[in-house]
Amino acid sequence: MAKFTRILSLDGGGLRGIISAEVLKYVEQKLQDFTGNLDARIADYFDLIAGTSVGGILTALYLCPYLENPLRPRCSAQEVYDFFRYKSSQIFDPISKNSLPVLGELFDEKYSYHKFDQIMGDFFQDLKLSELLKPCLITSYEIEKRKSQFFTQHDAILDPKNDYFIRDVLRATSAAPTLFEVAQIKAMNQDVYTCIDGGVFANNPALCAYAEARHKFNRDFNLDNRYEKGPTAKQMVVLSLGTGVVKKKYPYEEAKNWGKLQWLEPLFDIIMTGGAETVDYQMQQIFDTTEHPENYLRINTVLESRKTLKMDDCSEANLNEIAKLGQQLTEENRQRLDQWIQLLLL
C-alpha cells in the first residue's frame, strides 16, 4: 500500500480542460519512466480523483474500465487527451437560432445537449458510476432540492440510490447555465435529480476531495483500513490542476453604473475565479501546517493577456492555442511535477 492517500483534483473550464489533460499526459509518462512499466496509468497511482464539469468528464475517462479486462483502465492519458481534444467541436454544437441571435441567447441555452449525450452514450454505454475503477467525486448542484450534489463511486457501490449511469453524471456536472439545458437524471433506484454544472459552487473541487478523504478513507468505509478516522493532511498528497485563470479587469468607471444585464457575465467570471482561488488558499493553509507543505501542488496559469482562450470556442485556432498553453504550463512546472510525482511511488 502507498505511503500517502493520493488525490487528484481537476477544475472545470470547458475546452480549457485540454490544459489538464496535457499535464496528465506528462504525469503518466513520468510514472512509466520512473517505474519502467509501460502499462502504468493515471488510475493506478491515485486513490481518489475529483472533478467538476470538464474535470468530471476527465475523471470518468481516466477511471473507465477496459471492456475486455474490467480491472484495468480503458484509456491511456494520451487517449483521454485525444478523445476530448477531437470530440470537443461536436460537443459545443450551437443551436440554430432563426430569430435575432442576441435575443436567442438571452432566452435559450447556447448549445444542444443531444450531441453531448450521443458522444458520452457511445463511449460509456451503460457503464455505471459504481463500475469505475477507483473512488471518485464528481460535483453538481441540485436546483430543486437546493443542495450540492456529489456523485461518488464508493457510495454508489454501497447503495443503488447513489448509483447512476456515467453518461447521466457527466450531463449533470457539465450542465453549465446559459450554455446547456438543465440536466434531469435518474439514480438506479429511479429517484429524479435536476442538476446544473458543479462549477457554480466548486469549480475547484480540491477541498471537496480533501474532505471526502478525511471522512471516508477509514475502516468504517473500508477504503483505507490504516485509519480509524481518516487521513490528515500530513498523510495525503494532492495534485490540483487548474484550467487557467482569466484575470479580466473591470475598471471602476465602467462598472459603477452597470445594471443586471451588464453584470451577468462579469459576475459569473468573478464568482468562478474567486471560488477557485479561495479553495487554493484554503488548501495551502491546511498543508502549511504540516512538515511538508509541498505535498500539495497546484498547477495553474493566468490568462490575462490571452483573448482567444474561451471555454466554448471550438475553432481549430483556439484549440491549438489551448493545447500550446498546456504544453508550456507543463514545461514551466516540469521540475515541480517530477518531485511531486515521486511521492506517488512511496
Q: What is the pLDDT of residues 104-116, one digit of tens each?
A: 444 455 677 888 8
104 SS3 class: helix
Bridging pattern class, strands 192-197 and 136-142: antiparallel
CATH topology of domain 5-344: Cytosolic phospholipase A2 catalytic domain (3.40.1090)
What single letter denotes the amino acid at residue 203? N
Q: Where are the domains of the chain?
A: 5-344
Whether 140 sits among the annotated catalytic residues: the reply is no
Active site residue 305: no
Span of 103-107, 209-213, 224-228, 287-291 with lowest mean pLDDT? 103-107
The set of residues, in sequence order, having a beta carbon less than 8 Å from that of 142 and lying 6+ positions away, is 148, 149, 193, 194, 195
Quick one: what percent of the chain has pLDDT higher than 90?
72
Q: State the greatest distance between any 2 C-alpha atoms of the chain, in Å, as a whole number.
A: 62
pTM of this structure? 0.93
- For the chain, the residue count is 346
Say which of 11, 197, 224, 280 is annotated catalytic.
Answer: 197
What average pLDDT does the chain have? 91
Per-residue confidence (pLDDT) for residue 115, from 0 to 100: 87
Distance CA 266, CA 262 (A): 8
Among 53, 88, 130, 140, the active-site one is 53
The C-alpha cell that represents 51 in the structure block: 472533478
pLDDT at 252 over 50: yes
